[in-house]
């Protein structure tokens, strides 16, 4: 899938000086980097002038932008326009020259209209810094991005993604673009078009932002009951992660609408709890019962987090199995993970005798991918799929060692940070070699 829609639905704040499409290589960086192609002009004189413009700027972004703009005046049809435009966009954002950034983002679109990420960059800038005519152009860019997404087929997906996950990602991308287009329609004072896009966005990927905008539109229509409902849903879906909707702001909007409808805030708390339960249940739905009725770990078939393919615990029969049960929201789990991986590394090369598994127990499995992209464990990562229930795991992290017959030989809950690895290493050694006297194993620092 193409990248960038997430940043459209939650753009960077303008005062950070960050490029909303992500860092782009500048001509100076390209010229100095051995891994990236330098900006090479087709004619010797043009190449020399471009190199001079880059070198004279040194590390001064303002000078680099001035020099590149002067270069474009002299060579308006240079074949390196896309790279130079991108460098100007990045530099102008860092200099808070938003009109220039917006102008050259749109120039990039004109050169490469079929590139989704370029269109998204222009959309973001126009939404934040454009006027009515710019918002109208951004609406057209949104339509173009939607066409690009809809043209994608599963044959273009990464082999790491299941077809189901590919389709979920595509729906999320479409929902993100519809959300932004709805916001543009709001700016253009076209509430019916905005309403249509917000409703479609929410259906595809329920989120606090779409619900909040639907609440605002309902409030404009004097539909207080509808506004209360939408604000309540937004409040239920909001969280404290970066880019999420602000619960205090939603609380204020919800409180205002409730007081207008009821005269006071009596009953609001009960309403919020009920709305939260109903919203979460509607979005998540009943989780499929997996491995129901199976009584032994060796009978379980788990799912690999990477691609959803099956991981049969029967394949671990006769081996020692070391499992770390964890969740994304568990702080101690994050502390314990590198120690668990260090222990796994100690037994590298003994895969015929010992297996290490990172077993995820999150209710919301969509949180796992982003977490793993940050943590990057080396051990196999699987979903618990009821194994936590069979083994009575109800606190995290929990570390278990199963012996070759599938019986629990070691169990530890939480993390002993005074000696986080030694006891697990000793337990594994003892389980691998039960007839030998256990020898305390020092763990390399």
What is the predicted pLDDT for the residue at 158?
65
Q: Write out pLDDT tens, residues 370-409.
A: 888 888 888 999 999 999 999 999 899 999 999 999 999 9
Share of the chain above pLDDT 90, in %: 64
Contact in structure between 271 and 251 (CB atoms under 8 Å): no
> Is residue 336, in this structure, part of any structural domain at all?
yes
Per-residue pLDDT at 26 exceeds 80: no
- How much is the mean pLDDT over the chain? 85
Which of 320, 304, 414 has its CA nearest to residue 369? 304
Q: What is the mean pLDDT of residues 103-118?
A: 93
Termini Cα distance of the chain: 41
Quote the pLDDT of residue 86. 92
Q: Average of pLDDT values for 24-50?
A: 56
Q: How confident is the model at residue 420 (pLDDT cuts 50, 70, 90)?
A: confident
Specify the pLDDT at position 419.
83
pLDDT at 370: 84
Other beta carbons less than 10 A from residue 186's beta carbon: 20
Dist. CA 41–CA 58, nearest whole Å: 19
pLDDT digits (tens, 9 = 90+) for 78-105: 989 999 999 999 999 999 999 999 999 9
Exposed, middle or buried, 20 (CB in 10 Å: 0-12/13-18/19+)? buried
* 39 pLDDT above the threshold of 60: no
Q: Are 441 and 435 in contact (CB under 8 A)?
A: no
**CA–CA dist 320, 127 (Å, integer):** 56
Is 406 a domain residue?
Answer: yes
Statement: residue 241 has pLDDT above 70 = no
Q: What are phi and psi of 402, to 5 degrees?
A: -100, 135
State what percent of residues in the chain have pLDDT above 70: 84
Which range, of 114-123, 235-244, 311-320, averages the lowest pLDDT?
235-244
Q: 200 or 282: which carries more pLDDT confidence?
A: 200
pLDDT tops 70 at residue 18: no
Going edge to edge, which strands form the sheet with 354-360?
Answer: 380-383, 354-360, 320-326, 398-402, 408-413
With 0-12 / 13-18 / 19 or more C-beta atoms within 10 angstroms meaning exposed / middle / buried, residue 383 is: buried
pLDDT bin (cut points 50, 70, 90) of residue 365 is confident
- The C-alpha atoms of residue 400 and residue 412 are separated, in whole angstroms, by 7
Task: Give φ, ψ of 98 to 5 degrees.
Answer: -70, -35
Residue 212 has pLDDT above 90, yes or no: yes
Cβ neighbourhood burial of 59 (10 Å; 0-12, 13-18, 19+) = exposed
Reduced 3-state DSSP string for 391-408: CCCCCCCEEEEECCCCCE
Residue 409's domain comprises 297-432
Q: Per residue in 255-276, pLDDT tens?
A: 999 999 999 999 999 998 999 8
> Where would I find the beta strands (DSSP E) of 105-192?
none
Sign of CA pseudo-dihedral 109, 110, 111, 113: positive
Q: What SS3 state is found at 98?
A: helix
Residue 331's CATH number: 3.40.30.10
Q: Which two tokens stand for residue 23?
A: 């860092």
How many domains is the chain built from?
A: 1
Taking residues 269-289, report their average pLDDT: 81
On whether the CB atoms of residues 321 and 407 are closer than 8 A, the answer is no
Mean pLDDT computed over 293-303: 94
Q: What is the pLDDT of residue 155?
A: 63
Residue at 341 is within a domain: yes
Residue 345 lies in a domain: yes
Domain assignment present for residue 401? The answer is yes
Query: Lowest mean pLDDT: which of 27-31, 34-38, 177-181, 431-435?
Result: 27-31
288 within a domain of the structure (yes/no):
no
**pLDDT category, 417, cuts 50, 70, 90?**
confident
Task: Look at residue 358 and tell me if it is in a domain.
Answer: yes
User: pLDDT higher for 331 or 193?
Assistant: 193
Proportion of the chain in helix, strand, coil states, percent, rounded to 5: 55, 10, 35
Q: Does position 322 have pLDDT exceeding 70, yes or no?
A: yes
Instruction: Return the structure tokens found at 190.
Output: 């076209």
User: Does 5 have pLDDT greater than 90?
Assistant: no
Whether the per-residue pLDDT at 281 is higher than 90: the answer is: no
pLDDT over threshold 70, residue 130: yes
Predicted local distance difference test score (pLDDT) of residue 19: 42
pLDDT digits (tens, 9 = 90+) for 218-234: 999 999 999 999 999 99
pLDDT band at 441 (very low <50, low <70, confident <90, very high): low
Residue 347 within any structural domain of the chain: yes
Residue 266's region, left for phi above 0, alpha for psi from -120 to 50, else beta, is beta
Q: What is the pLDDT of residue 162?
A: 67
CA distance 272 to 7: 29
How high is the pLDDT of residue 2? 38
Q: What is the pLDDT of residues 136-191, one digit of tens each?
A: 999 999 999 999 988 876 666 666 666 677 788 888 999 999 999 999 999 999 99
Q: What is the pLDDT of residue 307?
A: 84
């Amino acid at each position: 899938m193409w990248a960038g829609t997430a940043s459209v639905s939650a753009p960077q704040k303008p005062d950070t000086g960050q490029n909303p499409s992500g860092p782009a290589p500048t001509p100076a960086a390209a010229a100095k980097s051995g891994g990236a192609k330098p900006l090479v002009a087709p004619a010797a004189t043009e190449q020399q002038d471009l190199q001079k413009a880059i070198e004279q700027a040194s590390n001064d972004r303002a000078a680099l932008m001035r020099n590149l703009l002067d270069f474009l005046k002299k060579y308006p049809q240079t074949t390196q326009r896309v790279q130079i435009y991108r460098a100007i966009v990045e530099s102008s954002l860092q200099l808070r020259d938003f009109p220039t950034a917006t102008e050259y983002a749109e120039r990039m679109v004109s050169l490469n209209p079929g590139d989704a990420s370029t269109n998204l960059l222009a959309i973001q800038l126009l939404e934040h810094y454009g006027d009515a005519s710019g918002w109208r152009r951004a609406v057209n860019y949104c339509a173009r991005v939607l066409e690009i997404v809809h043209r994608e087929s599963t044959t273009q997906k990464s082999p790491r993604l299941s077809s189901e996950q590919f389709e979920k990602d595509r729906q999320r991308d479409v929902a993100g673009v519809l959300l932004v287009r709805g916001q543009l329609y709001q700016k253009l004072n076209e509430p019916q078009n905005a309403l249509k896009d917000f409703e479609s966005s929410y259906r595809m990927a329920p989120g606090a932002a779409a619900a909040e905008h639907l609440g605002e539109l309902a409030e404009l229509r004097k539909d207080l009951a509808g506004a209360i409902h939408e604000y309540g849903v937004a409040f239920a879906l909001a969280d404290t992660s970066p880019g999420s909707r602000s619960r205090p702001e939603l609380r204020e909007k919800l409180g205002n609408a409730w007081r207008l409808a009821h005269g006071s805030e009596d009953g609001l708390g009960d309403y919020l709890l009920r709305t939260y339960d109903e919203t979460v249940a509607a979005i998540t739905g009943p989780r499929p019962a997996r491995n129901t009725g199976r009584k032994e770990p060796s009978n379980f078939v788990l799912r690999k987090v990477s691609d959803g393919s099956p991981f049969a615990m029967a394949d671990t029969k006769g081996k020692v199995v070391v499992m770390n049960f964890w969740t994304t929201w568990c702080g101690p789990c994050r502390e314990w993970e590198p120690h668990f991986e260090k222990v796994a590394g100690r037994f590298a090369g003994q895969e015929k005798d010992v297996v290490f598994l990172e077993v995820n127990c999150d209710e919301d499995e969509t949180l796992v991918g982003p977490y793993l992209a940050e943590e990057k464990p080396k051990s196999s990562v699987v979903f618990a799929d009821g194994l936590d229930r069979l083994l009575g795991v109800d606190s995290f992290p929990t570390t278990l060692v199963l012996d070759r017959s599938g019986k629990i030989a070691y169990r530890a809950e939480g993390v002993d940070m005074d000696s986080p690895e030694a006891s697990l290493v000793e337990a594994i050694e003892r389980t691998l070699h039960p007839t030998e006297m256990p020898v305390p194993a020092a763990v390399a620092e």
